[in-house]
Structure 1
Amino acid sequence: MSKKPAVRASIPRSAVVRAAAAAAALVTVAAGLGVRSAASGDVAKYAGDALYTVLIHALVVLLAPRVRPLTAASTALAFSWAVELAQLTGVPAELAQRSAVARLVLGSTFNAPDLLWYGVGAGLAWAVHSLLQSGRSLAQP
């Protein structure tokens, strides 16, 4: 009697990546809320800026699971910078007065150092995404 090979249900890689990206987005939001509750001033503000870009990176991966780490990080950074630069127009400030969601997503006041911290977040997201995509553990040298 011949043995049939076991049929293994295969989960598409894109579904696994999407699930990981959704989890990363939730962890990022939790980290942002945690930083806001545990710290204040510049630490909370700039950590929030970096985490904002990390969140955008996770959302890019959620929408396009085959995206390369550099492309996702660049997209997240460009979006973050565009939102910050839009604050120079006053439109986000006007929208923020009407909507708490707009205030959270768009901010209201331009702050040049935010541009740097968005870069920090993009770099962090790129590094973690690259490590995960290569299959190496974060603990490996």
Structure 2
Amino acid sequence: MSRIPVILAAALTVAMGLTVRGLWDGPVPKYAGDALYTVLIYTLVVVALPRIRPIVAASVAAGVSWVVEFAQLWEIPEVLRPVLGSTFNVPDLLWYVVGAGCAWAAHTLWLKRHPTP
């Protein structure tokens, strides 16, 4: 898979996260942000490994998100909190899976419509 569409997807993911944060308050931007965080990780995995299978990329993205979430049970250094967060929250684990599932579905659909030789 070409890296250009994946890099564009990563940029779109960041823009969506900033837009959601700018438009709403409360749980909507928080949980949308969790899902989009995992989508961004997914895109970074695919940029690094363009031939990765979607299910593997989804598993890695969800796994990394879960590791970061569980790391919040311990003290996260202040400088890393904007990226890694600071408070463990069980519902976040579900939203990471939702984000990985959405990225998997989009990637799978893309590959079906744009097969590589």
Check whether TM > 0.5. yes
Select 2:71's aligned residue among 70, 86, 91: 86
What is the Cα deviation at residue 70 of structure 1? 0.4
What is the Cα deviation at residue 42 of structure 1? 0.4
Equivalent position amino acid for 2:5 in 1: A
Does the alignment pair 1:130 with 2:108?
Answer: yes
What is the Cα deviation at residue 22 of structure 1? 0.6
Equivalent position amino acid for 2:102 in 1: L
Equivalent position amino acid for 1:84 in 2: E
Identity, % of aligned positions: 57
Alignment correspondent of 1:36: 21
What is the Cα deviation at residue 89 of structure 1? 1.4
Distance in 2 of aligned mates of 1:134 and 1:85: 35
Equivalent position amino acid for 2:71 in 1: A
Higher relative contact order (CA 8 A, sep 6+): 2
Alignment correspondent of 2:5: 20
Q: Would you say how many aligned residue pairs link Structure 1 and Structure 2?
A: 114
Distance in 2 of aligned mates of 1:43 and 1:126: 22
What is the Cα deviation at residue 105 of structure 1? 1.9
TM-score (norm 2): 0.94
Alignment correspondent of 1:64: 49
Task: In structure 2, list runs of 5 or more residues that go unmatched.
Answer: none
Alignment correspondent of 1:111: 89
Report which of the two structures shows the higher radius of gyration computed on alpha carbons. 1
Distance in 1 of aligned mates of 2:73 and 2:111: 37
What is the Cα deviation at residue 104 of structure 1? 2.6
Equivalent position amino acid for 1:31 in 2: M
Distance in 1 of aligned mates of 2:4 and 2:36: 19
SS in 1 for 2:72: helix
SS in 1 for 2:87: coil
1:82-103 CA-partner distances (Å, limit 9, x unpaired): 000000112x2xx1x2x2xx22
TM-score (norm 1): 0.78
Alignment correspondent of 1:3: none
Does the alignment pair 1:46 with 2:25?
Answer: no
Equivalent position amino acid for 1:73 in 2: A
